[in-house]
Amino acid sequence: MIVQLRYFASIREAIGTSTESTRTTAATLAALREELIARGGGYAEALARGRAVRVALNQTMSDESAALSDGAEVGFFPPVTGG
């Protein structure tokens, strides 16, 4: 399946792009994150396990156990703090 990926803030900076379309065999958001980490480089740095990363599926914040479907939009967000 093909999914649309969106990266925000420091994740976007580490990866070097804000959006991309990718083919995946991942069934869940967790499996997709693992596929991206396996790419190495900025992906591995920004999305590494142990790093706080929020994930949205079709513009709804989701648990990484959420199932992916063809054409889904997935957004990756670093933790956000404000004052």
Give the chain's domain count.
1
Neighbours of 11 (CB within 10 A): 22
Residue 49 forms part of a structural domain:
yes
* Percentage of residues in the chain having pLDDT higher than 90: 94
Residue 83 forms part of a structural domain:
no
Residue 39 forms part of a structural domain:
yes
* pLDDT of the residue at 79: 82
- Quote the CA–CA distance of 7 and 39 in Å, as a whole number: 15
Q: Which two tokens stand for residue 12?
A: 């976007």
For residue range 13-53, list pLDDT tens digits in order: 999 999 999 999 999 999 999 999 999 999 999 999 999 99
The domain that contains 10 carries what CATH number?
3.10.20.30
What rounded mean pLDDT belongs to the chain? Answer: 94
Q: Are 39 and 14 in contact (CB under 8 A)?
A: no
For 12-77, give the secondary structure using H, E and C.
HHHHCCCEEEEECCCCEHHHHHHHHHHCCHHHHHHHCCCCCCEEEECCEEECCCCECCCCCEEEEE
pTM of the predicted protein model: 0.92
Residue 82 forms part of a structural domain:
no
* pLDDT of the residue at 80: 73
* pLDDT of the residue at 5: 98
Q: Where does the pLDDT of residue 83 fall: very low under 50, low under 70, confident under 90, or very high at 90 and above? A: low
Per the structure, the complete domain to which residue 35 belongs is given by 2-77
